[in-house]
């Protein structure tokens, strides 16, 4: 017997005319609707047997209550909609409608982007192609995938990149025709100058070419490694110094090394003795001319080129600084020349402003 019926029975047994009003916020057990005393209350017993008195308030919502009085709490919920509520009672609010990217609810619920617009960072902007690999005109502008300018430099698949409104091969050593043109790896002009392996191989003139000639590996897969590969002729073949391939041998300057000392050897841009040091970097070139003509305007000094003529208005040591502007070689007080506004060349000295003046 329900708690409510029990109270009514006690009242009549005492012979007193009475009524009992029980609070709507309390839970009363029941087996049939009449146990609940009317007033819109029904017995919510979904599987029969003992249930609880319940007053319907409408459809089920996420509030930990049995709103539709079917004996179940938070069931039969609606699908999630964008309304600031947890419609499906999963603990998340509007989780299916990301405001930063949902074009129907961009930035806020109900803010739909118009035709040709997409939602980017919560704002409606002119929409580009959303996929560059699906064969569909996503932004409905008449162009598909790589043919759409919005796909430029975007991936068009594994080893493929959209470039200049077309697909371009990017993986040039996987043995696959990644852009479907149908040329593979170095045979595809897209691969010119690109790496064709895992290092030491470069696509040159539609063929693989060995470019690392000191790693003892057959990088281009032609059966020959390092100096034994004709691709390496004249190329560096040592990890240190400047040894180069000469035939199938790796030696210094074609097998004819020379001392880095005096004369043209200190200004020829060549590591003549293959010790990894060139021209003025060699101790044997100290105080030797580094001018192309062998003159005195540039001189090797302590392992570097030094400007020694500070009045010819020329960058003699190639450091992009001329005369007084090169305050390391032409410090303040150094004699120099400058072009006067009269058009005459006059003598002066380098001042604190790195200028030649009287």
Query: Under a CB-based contact definition with an 8 Å cutoff, are residues 279 and 300 in contact?
Result: yes
Distance separating the N- and C-terminal Cα atoms of the chain? 120
- Dump the DSSP string for 313-353: SS-TTSSS--GGG-TTTS-TT-EEEEE-TTS-EEEEEE-TT
Q: Please state the domain extents for the chain.
A: 1-77, 192-249, 258-308, 321-358
Q: What are 138-184's pLDDT values in tens digits?
A: 877 789 999 998 898 889 999 999 999 999 999 999 999 999 999 99
Q: What are 189-248's pLDDT values in tens digits?
A: 999 999 998 889 999 999 999 999 999 999 999 999 999 999 999 898 987 778 889 889
Q: How far apart are CA 40 and CA 31, in angstroms?
A: 16
- Does the structure show a pLDDT above 80 at 126? no
Q: What are 12-42's pLDDT values in tens digits?
A: 333 344 444 555 567 788 888 888 888 888 8
Residue in 264, 334, 322 with CA at minimum distance from that of residue 293: 264
- pLDDT score of 98: 86
- Does the structure show a pLDDT above 90 at 334? yes
- Given the structure tokens 């470019």, which residue do they identify? 211
- Does the structure show a pLDDT above 50 at 107? yes
- Does the structure show a pLDDT above 60 at 283? yes
Query: Under a CB-based contact definition with an 8 Å cutoff, are residues 306 and 281 in contact?
Result: no
Burial label, 180 (beta-carbon count in 10 A; 0-12, 13-18, 19+): exposed
Q: How far apart are CA 331 and CA 254, in angstroms?
A: 43
Token pair of 173 as six digits: 């050593």
């Amino acid at each position: 017997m329900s708690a409510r019926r029990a109270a009514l029975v006690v009242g009549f047994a005492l012979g007193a005319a009475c009524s009992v009003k029980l609070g709507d916020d309390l839970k009363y057990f029941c087996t049939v609707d009449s146990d609940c005393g009317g007033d819109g209350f029904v017995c919510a017993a979904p599987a029969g047997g003992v249930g609880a008195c319940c007053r319907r308030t409408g459809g089920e919502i996420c509030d930990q209550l049995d709103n539709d009085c079917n004996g179940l709490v938070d069931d039969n919920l609606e699908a999630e909609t964008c309304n600031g509520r947890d419609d499906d009672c999963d603990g998340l609010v509007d989780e299916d409608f990301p405001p930063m990217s949902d074009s129907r609810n961009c930035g806020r619920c109900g803010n739909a982007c118009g035709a040709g617009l997409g939602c980017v960072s919560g704002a409606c902007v002119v929409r580009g192609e959303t996929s560059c690999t699906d064969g569909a005109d996503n932004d409905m502008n008449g162009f598909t995938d790589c043919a759409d300018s919005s796909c430029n430099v975007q991936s068009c698949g594994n080893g493929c990149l959209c470039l200049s409104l077309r697909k371009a091969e990017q993986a040039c050593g996987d043995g696959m025709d990644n852009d479907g043109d149908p040329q593979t790896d170095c045979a595809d002009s897209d691969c010119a100058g690109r790496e064709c392996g895992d290092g030491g191989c470069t696509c040159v003139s539609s063929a693989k070419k060995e470019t690392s000639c000191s790693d003892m590996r057959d990088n281009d897969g032609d059966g020959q490694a390092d100096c034994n590969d004709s691709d390496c002729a004249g190329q560096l073949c040592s990890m240190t110094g400047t040894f180069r391939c000469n035939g199938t041998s790796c030696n210094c300057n074609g097998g004819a090394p020379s001392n880095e000392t005096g004369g043209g050897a200190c200004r020829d841009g060549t590591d003549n003795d293959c010790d990894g040091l060139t021209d003025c970097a060699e101790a044997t070139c100290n105080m030797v001319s580094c001018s192309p003509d062998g003159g005195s305007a540039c001189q090797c000094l302590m392992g570097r080129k030094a400007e020694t003529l500070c009045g010819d208005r020329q960058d003699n040591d190639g450091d992009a600084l001329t005369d007084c502007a090169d305050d390391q070689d032409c410090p303040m007080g150094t004699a120099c020349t400058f072009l006067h506004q009269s058009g005459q060349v006059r003598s002066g000295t380098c001042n604190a402003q790195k200028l030649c003046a009287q």
